[in-house]
Amino acid sequence: MSNVAGFCTDEFESVRTAFTEQVESGAELGASLCITVEGDTVVDLWGGHADPERTRRWGADTLVNAFSVTKTMTALSALLLVDQGALDVHEKVAHYWPEFAANGKADIEVRHLLSHTSGVSGWEAPIEVPDIYERESSTARLAEQEPWWEPGTVSGYHALNYGHLIGELIRRIDGRTLGKFFAEELAGPLGADFHIGGAAQYSDRIATLVPPEYPEFDQSLLPQDSVMYKTLFQPLLDFEMCGTPEWRDAEIGGVNGQGNARSVARIQSLISNGGELSGRKYLSEKTIDLIFDEQVDGVDLAILLPLRFGIGYGLPHAQTVPNVPDGRVCWWGGLGGSMVVNDLDHRVTFAYTMNRMAPGLIGSDRADAYLKAAFAAVRGGA
């Protein structure tokens, strides 16, 4: 019996081949892959196993922690408020969240949060992973901090706190928390099985993560005052905690969304399909255009890779993500290799999630294999 299930149109048969090779070889433990064209699904594949013991097959409804792919859901939630006229990306954050003006942050704009250029890419120590589960206290701490660099000048990836910052803006404007807003305004209406918070109830469907193996190193050798250290090591993400009910139930809109490729592609195809799905207009072209308003292009202070950010999404970068095509394209990836790419030129959305995490901060060899096959089919090998 094949370890791969689902369907694929003839035009994307090379994608099925690439996916099947990775699953059957064991390079993938379990994974899902989905592609939409003009909002319609043309590839919906899943395969492998949901646990390292290989006792549970990865099913059609298996979920997994998609890590920073969650940020695209958070950004899209904010863009809904922009489209409604309730949020202005060029307005000061403190206009909506007055406490945020403390300690030199009065002039930080909403677009700086959405593009990782705010100077507030993490929490001042001491901070532990469980501390970020509690919305009120963790966002209050961010509001009290000084920025770690001049806002708007360079990016410093808001690795863990992106959803806390954007989510608090949403709550201040709308009254609902990020998880509830996302569920009621996006996931629910679109019939998408993706969850930011409250996911412990689905634990029987959530795949077990297999973290990458990193060589041991002495953290004390790193400059403790660097943006990189303060962002990525304060707190250091504990993968065992990522499998607990407490983690799954917390609304951590930067990293703890639980979903699969089908749900990611369904929601994000709002972007590639011009803001409309199933006969409902969610976003105007003007709002979508904001995504491509480049805010920064350079080496990121937190993850030390060259990145281009628009408003809410990454933009193509040949050096860092060579298999994300150029053009009117926006994307982002999650720790371990999960990925979503919106190609507006061809009205295509590509999504990939998995439970065997690859080393590195962005992408993986497996993700690259699928991206190459998918966009060769879309663009005729261009």
pLDDT of residue 267: 98
Widest Cα–Cα separation across the chain: 61
Mutual angle of helices 135-144 and 162-174, in 10-degree steps: 100
**Residue-range domain boundaries for the chain:** 4-379
Q: What length does the chain have? A: 382
> CA-to-CA distance for 194 and 69, rounded, in angstroms?
11
Pairing of strands 4-8, 339-343: unpaired
Cα dihedral 169, 109, 344, 319 sign:
negative
Q: pTM score, two decimals?
A: 0.97
Res 382: pLDDT: 42
Segment-wise mean pLDDT, segments of 10 residues, the chain, 382 residues: 90 98 97 98 98 98 98 98 98 98 98 98 97 98 98 98 98 98 98 98 98 81 93 94 98 98 98 97 98 98 98 97 97 98 98 96 96 94 46
Q: List, in sequence order, every residue forming a beta bridge with 314; answer none if it has no partner.
A: 309, 331
pLDDT digits (tens, 9 = 90+) for 179-210: 999 999 999 999 999 999 999 999 999 999 99
Q: What is the pLDDT of residue 52?
A: 98
Give ∠ CA 121-283-175 in degrees, rounded to 5: 60
CA 369 from chain centre, in angstroms, equals 20
CB 355 within 8 A of CB 209: yes
So what's the pLDDT on residue 216?
77
| Class at the top of the CATH hierarchy for domain 4-379 | alpha beta
**Residue 98 and residue 218 in contact, taking contact as beta carbons nearer than 8 Å:** no
Per-residue pLDDT, 1: 55
pLDDT per residue as tens digits for the range 292-341: 999 999 999 999 999 999 999 999 999 999 999 999 999 999 999 999 99
